[in-house]
Chain A
Amino acid sequence: MAQINRIHLSNNKDKTVLKKIKDIFMKNIVTIIFLVLCLIGIELSGLPIFFVVSELVTRLTRNSFLVLSLIIPVLAGMGLNFSIVIGAMAGQIAIIAVTHWGVTGIWGFLLCVVLSFPFALFFGYLTGKLLNKTKGQEMIASMILGFFANGLYQLTFLFLVGTVIPMKNDVLILSHGVGVRNTIDLSGGLESTGIKYALDEIWKFPIFYIIIILCGLVLLYFGIKLAVDIIKYRRGNKKPFMNNCVKYIFNITVCLILLVVSILIMTGDSSLSMINLPMITAFVIVILCLFNTLIVKTKLGQDFRTVGQDKHIAKVSGINVDKVRVLAIIISTVLAAWGQLIFLQNIGTLNTYGSHEQIGMFSIAALLIGGASVSKATVGQAILGTVLFHTLFIVSPLAGRNLFGDAQIGEFFRAFVVYGVIGISLGLHAWRKRVELKNKLRT
């Protein structure tokens, strides 16, 4: 009998482990599919690893800030904020003005940051007001609002600049004196005219050194923690060690592997050791990550979360729901404006009527690929998503050409994936919500 019981128990245990694995798998299905797609893509494209990694580092520092700007509205239960496009417009307004005034380099960049702030604040306020009127349909409203704002933006820069807004500049304005040119070069020839690489070029450092240092620090941290727990274990308090044992071993192994690989790369004659990380840009992104995680600990962050979970409960407990929602959108819009500045200082050319259009779509797709959903998003998901999304970006045209003999197929596939992943994530979310609602009604 006891034996049967034991078998039964172990069976049960197996089942829970299996179920756990299945649960983890199902929850991260989008991310896992993308990981596989990326690996297949890298293999098919036949691109050298050096190219993929260096391109990825550039794109990661270029886009992460924008992706991270999406997190706070998700926290506040407003879904994915497609109207970061409007924040991007605020950034571009600042860039056009600063380029017109001829302020270049880091000072130009800082001026852009300062100048875009009031614009983004104002736009964010209006967006928030509108989204409060369309509760329950925030995402479609913010998307259509992006299109609408794009119309106003075009009207302003094609027809009002030079007629209503006085501006004289042969380089920026079209030859007949009305309207801003389609592309604005931010770098210029011999003498710089814009803010290209204003932030990136300040300080660059080989990325694998950074990884070595970081791994060292993390190892040290876990080493100390482990030591403390072992001492506790010896003294008889077995709980912390037993609980955290697997986690420690896993983290330490990952760090060690990374460390060894990095050291091998740096000591070997691989070209990978030449890849540099723009330190200041990375630093700014890290600060934003910290901001996003630390804000949850403040009163404001708790308000965001309460509103996100249930508007009614929040209202009853004395939170001004509408105000909190407007604030969330304002923060997101301002961050998006700055994100667009980082994006453009890296690209080096401003496409006056196009640079901002795809920002919302691509950032949202990246966030969702990282495993985020409409109601939950973390910093880690944002970074992971950006990495996966841009890997696919780099490899898909070549992979398409090698697989089907046509680079276009790769690009169409990529676009299909971008739109598809947004559609599927939104669909899954809506479906889960309905199932939950049904279950709630039944009990």
Chain B
Amino acid sequence: MAETIRKITNSIGLPRIIITLFFILTCVMAVLLELPIDMLTHQVLVRIGMNGVFVLAMVPAILSGTGPNFGLSLGIICGLIGGLMSIELNLYDGWGFAAAIVIAIPIAVIVGWVYAQLLNRVKGSEMMIATYTGFSIVFLMSIGWLIMPFKSPEMVWPIGKGLRVTISLGERFADILNELWEFPIGKVKIPTGLLLFFFVCCILVWLFLRSKTGLALKASGANPKFSLACGINVDKNRITGTILSTVLGAVGIIVYAQSYGFFQLYQAPLMMAFPAVAAVLIGGASAQKAKISNVILGVFLFQGLLTVSLPVASSIIKEGNISESLRMIVQNGIILYALTKVNGGE
């Protein structure tokens, strides 16, 4: 009996069990404290849709062997540029949203290609270098936001130079997916369009991973030396994986922003990669293996925990933001746990 329990614990991983139990506990607490459950459920669903694509972006990167994409902010910045162009072109509603994505994707492909060239040259230390590439590009682009020649009065400061820190999407395409085919179950509003978009993305990636290219990509990530011997071009597959991850990051921020209602520029993308990495790891992925099911489960657990714990924590302890400290501990704890499982060095 003890043996089987230990086996199960080992295969799932202790931190995951703790986080799951913790999530269940917060949910029970939420019910006991008589918090508005329908509101919370709606929020959890929205948060899943908002962050889902970011988490999905981790899958091709992990599978192609570059490890979790800590440089997701590169993709995010491409998405921001697409979104800003769409506003600059003065597009509204669905057209604005679609244009943002259509403009962002080719930029993300180019950036992803360059980024992949870098990652191919630093095999073995991708995670660290990805993190710092992401950080430095965020600040380079901060200069970029100040000097880019955008004209639309919605985006630039009325006085002075440069783009605003937050750009409202209120009349453009805010909530365009959230309100698409939205219907209530009881009191819970289901953001159908948003979730549908996320699931369609998941299915597309799932299909891609079953195509010839996708299988080669998985093989070269799982065992680079063996793949090389089989005549698979490992470097090329890593490039494909990285490009796909960057593109998903770009699409992710547009989906995120339409739900959030704002584009956030300057330092906002700096730390966005870490919650996404943590979510996919909580879902059961490792630094070498990831599945679509890990994404869906992970984003549900992590975002669910964050959404529910905030009102629960603040109704127990009135002052301060304890759930923020909690987020840091959970998020970085799970990344650390995954790192201890990476077999490197020896």
Contacts and interface: CB of A to CB of B under 8 A. Distances in A.
B124 interface: yes
A313 interface: no
Interface string A372-411: 0000000000000000000000000000000011101100
B143 A159 contact: no
Contacts of B138: 419
A419 B139 contact: yes
Contact of A139 (B128, B140, B162, B325): B128
A147 B340 CA distance: 16
Interface string A145-182: 10110111011001100000000000000101011000
Contacts, number: 144
Interface string B99-139: 00000000000000000001001111101110111011011
Interface residues of A, number: 46
B224 to A, nearest CB: 13
Contacts of B132: 419-420, 422-423, 426
A434 B133 CA distance: 19
Contacts of B274: 147
A143 interface: yes
B328 interface: yes
A135 B345 contact: yes
B139 A412 contact: yes
A231 interface: no
B17 interface: no
Contact of A155 (B329, B331, B333): B329
Contacts of A429: 125
Contacts of A136: 124, 342, 344-346
A28 to B, nearest CB: 21
B228 interface: no
Contacts of A134: 336, 339-340, 342, 344
Contacts of B188: none
B322 interface: yes
Interface in B287-346: 317-320, 322, 324-329, 331-333, 335-336, 339-340, 342, 344-346
Given A155-B325, A179-B320, A412-B139, A137 B342 contact: yes
A144 B125 contact: no
B146 interface: yes
B135 A423 contact: yes
A423 B133 contact: yes
B268 interface: no
B329 A148 contact: yes
A419 B331 CA distance: 22
A406 B342 contact: no
A420 B129 CA distance: 10
Contacts of A426: 122, 125, 128-129, 132
Contact of B136 (A176, A404, A416, A433): A416
A380 to B, nearest CB: 25
A140 interface: yes
Interface string A281-325: 000000000000000000000000000000100000000000000
Nearest to A133: B340
A434 B345 CA distance: 14
- Output the residue of A137, A406, A431 with the most chain B CB within 10 A: A137
Contacts of B342: 134, 136-137
Contact of B320 (A139, A140, A158, A415): A158
A133 B341 CA distance: 8
B147 interface: yes
Interface string B154-166: 0000000110000
Given A179-B320, A427-B118, A151 B143 contact: no
Interface residues of B, number: 47
A416 B139 contact: yes
A415 B128 contact: no
A128 to B, nearest CB: 13
A103 interface: no
Nearest to A361: B135
A178 B135 CA distance: 35
B324 to A, nearest CB: 8
A124 B60 CA distance: 36
B121 A154 contact: no
Contacts of A93: none
B140 A427 contact: no
Given A179-B320, A412-B142, A412-B143, A140 B329 contact: no
A439 to B, nearest CB: 15
B127 A137 contact: yes
A419 B345 CA distance: 25
Interface in A109-152: 130, 133-137, 139-141, 143-145, 147-148, 150-152
Given A412-B139, A427-B118, A174 B319 contact: yes
A150 B346 CA distance: 29
Contacts of A137: 127-128, 339, 342, 344-345
Contacts of A29: none
B140 A416 contact: yes
A137 B121 CA distance: 17
A430 B67 CA distance: 16
Nearest to A79: B128
Contacts of B136: 416, 419-420, 422-423
Given A311-B346, A404-B147, A419-B135, A159 B121 contact: no
A148 B346 contact: no
Contact of A152 (B143, B329, B346): B329
> Which 5 residue pairs across A and B have the least CB separation, nearest first?
A136-B344, A136-B345, A151-B328, A423-B132, A135-B345
Interface of B: 70, 118, 121-125, 127-129, 131-133, 135-136, 138-140, 142-143, 146-147, 161-162, 274, 317-320, 322, 324-329, 331-333, 335-336, 339-340, 342, 344-346
Given A133-B340, A148-B336, A159-B325, 9 more contacts: A136-B344, A137-B127, A137-B344, A143-B131, A154-B325, A155-B325, A416-B143, A419-B136, A427-B129
14 contacts: A135-B345, A136-B345, A140-B339, A148-B328, A150-B328, A151-B325, A151-B329, A151-B332, A155-B329, A406-B146, A416-B142, A422-B136, A423-B129, A423-B136
Interface of A: 130, 133-137, 139-141, 143-145, 147-148, 150-152, 154-155, 158-159, 174, 176, 178-179, 311, 404-406, 408-409, 412-413, 415-416, 419-420, 422-423, 426-427, 429-431, 433-434
